[in-house]
A and B are shown apart, each in its own frame.
Chain A
Amino acid sequence: MLASKNFAVAYLILVIIPMLGLAGVLRSGSKLIAPSAIGGHWKMQANAPSLTPVPCAGSMATMRDADFTISQSGRYFALRFANSVMPSASGLIEGTTIKVNIPLPPKGVKEVGCSGGHVFSLIATLDFKANPNSMAGLLSVNDCVACPSAEFRAVREQ
């Protein structure tokens, strides 16, 4: 069905040349820069003891010393707290900064002076030079003037 000469030509065009293309792609691809890897288990140390007297801080206090897991897909990631009081949330990584909005849990909404509809904002800068990797940033409640912000630090578990 396929003469030897025709087979050789077809094989060259359909197999060997594309394989050379593959080698070229693999070579050029090594220069690509993908988002920094942040996936895994993190241990948070939030500076929140002074938060309890203020509205919404009850919810924030639950985040103190909370462990969380990040499941990363490129620039996007899902953050899930181990204590399951806080809902999981999606975030974005830009360079060494991560941003994630976490909907306020129902418990927090019931607090006096803390109306519903608030969302926690977590913004942090990653430090990949530290061993283990760490992040430091600010936890705040969006659109809530009375709600304070809390600094936090989290360390990646290896």
Chain B
Amino acid sequence: MLNLFTLVLQIALVLACSRIVGSLFLKVGQPRVVGEMFAGIMLGPSLLGAIAPQWSAFVFPPSSLGFLNALSQVGVIVFMFLVGLGINPRELKSQGHAAVLTSHVSITAPFVLASFLAFYLCPRLSDSSVPFTNFALFMGAAMSITAFPVLARILAERNMLNSRLGTVGIACAAVDDVTGWCILAYIVLFIRAGNTGHPILFTVGGLIAFALVMVYGVQRLLKRFEVSYRQTGELSENALALMLLLALISALCTEWLGIHLLFGSFLMGTIMPKEQMFVRYVVNKFETIVVTLLLPLFFAFTGLRTNVGLVKGAEMWMYCVAIILVATLGKLGGSMLAGWWSGMPAREAAGLGTLMNTRGLMELVILNIGLDIKVISPALFSMMVLMALVTTFMTNPLLQAICPDKMFRREAEKSSRQLAVTPLGLDPAGD
């Protein structure tokens, strides 16, 4: 039964912790989101549960976590809609061969390396209920993802959005995320096929039909939102509610078809009109409540599922280090190699690799799905969360070392004269 006191106490605690830790991380030059991820882990069994188990049991009793999860999932549904909204397929087309090569390599390199690592980890951290193909593909998808919103925020903070590095990075991150989610959809589809009651052909056929209706039917109707915005410079509350309703209906459709709610909201976001001012307006309308309240709840819920205590002993820590190294080598190394091969100066290519290695929140979303469908074990989940934290944390300092601000000063001055619009409309102050 819902205990409102416990739920409100949880929300208050999560909100306070995430704001405090997020602000501290901002002070040391990290995006706030990294601090919020860290705050979530602090509230879980890894810290609060370890040093004050009674307090942890009082504030986060297991029976109450379903409500916290439900709230956080609503936040992630809207967040994925906003991520999809920020992705513009035309950006990749305008980048030519260099972006195509870099984006594809930044997926295949971590994917292939992850599959080799999966070969080693499967007998050690998985069990017989998980087919190796699912395990390896999931590891590949999880390692090849890039945190599109965090990357956009870092580029905006450094005035690099309109630089060559920024535009190629944004385009590649968009391709990586769409590809990663497609692969994940494939895995979820096959794992959940037996549980939904639908035959697999129904699910596959239904998904294809759904995607076609969305792209060739619904997308045209969505243009009316943009037309209305262009005429009045704003959208009515009814229009915004309708937009949210469409995202929720789309999420329900994909859930009903047998994949996850998040695919539907992401797809709805990707087919929305992409005019920059319109995107910025919509994001501003929805972002505040999602970023300040609902996403910290998601981080807290993830933190409550993350138990660093499961990573114990030299053997387990060795696996964890191997995961971080392989993820970094595949993503950073692969993107850097492709960027350099495409003609980028070595430094700029290294900067691109560093940016692509940012995993952040997107990684946590994928990992939570993996744990829900039991394709990864709790210990592996904790290791992967640590990997997400480390790779996201290293981005800013590494980027500053490889590509100092002065490298992009001229491009930044040029771009500051233009209207700076981040793909998610995020506040460049990172706040």
Chain A residues at the B interface, C-beta cutoff of 8 Å = 1-2, 4, 7, 10-11, 14-15, 18-19, 21-22, 25-26, 28-30, 32-39, 71-76, 78, 90
User: Which residue of chain A has its CB nearest to the CB of B105?
Assistant: A14
- Shortest distance in angstroms between A39's beta carbon and chain B's nearest beta carbon? 7
- Shortest distance in angstroms between B399's beta carbon and chain A's nearest beta carbon? 22
Is B347 an interface residue when CB atoms closer than 8 A count as contact?
no
Q: A2-B342, A29-B133, A72-B127 are in contact. List 6 more A-B contacts (CB 8 A).
A: A2-B341, A4-B97, A14-B104, A18-B108, A29-B136, A35-B123
Interface membership of chain B positions 98-135, coded 1 if the CB is closer than 8 angstroms to chain A and 0 otherwise: 10110011001101100110110111111111111101
Contacts of B132 in A (CB 8 A): 26, 29-30, 32, 34
Instruction: Please judge, given known A-B contacts A29-B132, A37-B128, A73-B379, whether A18 and B119 are in contact too, CB under 8 Å.
Output: no
Contacts of A72 in B (CB 8 A): 127, 377
Contact B97 A7 (CB under 8 A): yes
Contacts of A7 in B (CB 8 A): 97, 100-101
Contact B98 A33 (CB under 8 A): no
A-B contacts, 6 of them at CB < 8 A, read A1-B97, A2-B343, A7-B97, A25-B112, A34-B123, A34-B126
Contacts of B378 in A (CB 8 A): 71, 73, 78
A36 partner, pick from B128, B131, B374, beta carbons under 8 A? B128
Contact B104 A11 (CB under 8 A): yes
Interface membership of chain B positions 235-258, coded 1 if the CB is closer than 8 angstroms to chain A and 0 otherwise: 000000000000000000000000
CA distance A10 to B115 in the complex (A): 22
Contact B123 A22 (CB under 8 A): no
User: Which residue of chain A has its CB nearest to the CB of B310?
Assistant: A73
Chain B interface, DSSP helix/strand/loop, else mixed: helix
User: Which residues of chain B from 304 to 323 have a CB within 8 Å of any chain A CB?
Assistant: 310, 312, 316
Interface membership of chain B positions 76-105, coded 1 if the CB is closer than 8 angstroms to chain A and 0 otherwise: 000000000000000000001110110011
Chain A interface, DSSP helix/strand/loop, else mixed: mixed
Is B160 an interface residue when CB atoms closer than 8 A count as contact?
no
User: Which residue of chain B has its CB nearest to the CB of A33?
Assistant: B123
B338 partner, pick from A1, A10, A34, beta carbons under 8 A? A10
Is B259 an interface residue when CB atoms closer than 8 A count as contact?
no
CA distance A70 to B327 in the complex (A): 29
- Shortest distance in angstroms between B357's beta carbon and chain A's nearest beta carbon? 17
Chain B residues at the A interface, C-beta cutoff of 8 Å = 96-98, 100-101, 104-105, 108-109, 111-112, 115-116, 118-119, 121-133, 135-137, 140, 310, 312, 316, 334, 337-338, 341-343, 374, 377-380
Instruction: Please judge, given known A-B contacts A32-B122, A72-B127, A73-B377, whether A1 and B116 are in contact too, CB under 8 Å.
Output: no
- Shortest distance in angstroms between A121's beta carbon and chain B's nearest beta carbon? 20
- Shortest distance in angstroms between A14's beta carbon and chain B's nearest beta carbon? 5
User: Which residue of chain B has its CB nearest to the CB of A8?
Assistant: B97
User: Which residue of chain A has its CB nearest to the CB of B140?
Assistant: A22
Contact B108 A19 (CB under 8 A): yes
Instruction: Please judge, given known A-B contacts A2-B97, A15-B108, whether A29 and B341 are in contact too, CB under 8 Å.
Output: no
Instruction: Please judge, given known A-B contacts A18-B109, A21-B112, whether A74 and B342 are in contact too, CB under 8 Å.
Output: no
Instruction: Please judge, given known A-B contacts A71-B378, A74-B124, whether A1 and B105 are in contact too, CB under 8 Å.
Output: no
Instruction: Please judge, given known A-B contacts A14-B338, A26-B133, whether A35 and B112 are in contact too, CB under 8 Å.
Output: no
Contact B127 A74 (CB under 8 A): yes
Interface centre among A7, A11, A25, by most chain B C-beta atoms within 10 angstroms, is A25
Contact A74 B377 (CB under 8 A): yes
User: Which residue of chain B has its CB nearest to the CB of A3?
Assistant: B97
- Shortest distance in angstroms between A12's beta carbon and chain B's nearest beta carbon? 11
Contact A32 B377 (CB under 8 A): no
Contact B97 A74 (CB under 8 A): no
User: Which residue of chain A has its CB nearest to the CB of B337?
Assistant: A14
Contacts of B130 in A (CB 8 A): 34, 37
CA distance A37 to B126 in the complex (A): 9
User: Which residue of chain A has its CB nearest to the CB of B118?
Assistant: A29
Contact B125 A74 (CB under 8 A): yes
Contacts of A11 in B (CB 8 A): 101, 104
- Shortest distance in angstroms between B250's beta carbon and chain A's nearest beta carbon? 31
CA distance A39 to B137 in the complex (A): 22
A15 partner, pick from B105, B115, B116, B377, beta carbons under 8 A? B105
Interface centre among A18, A33, A74, by most chain B C-beta atoms within 10 angstroms, is A74
Contacts of A25 in B (CB 8 A): 112, 115-116, 118-119, 136
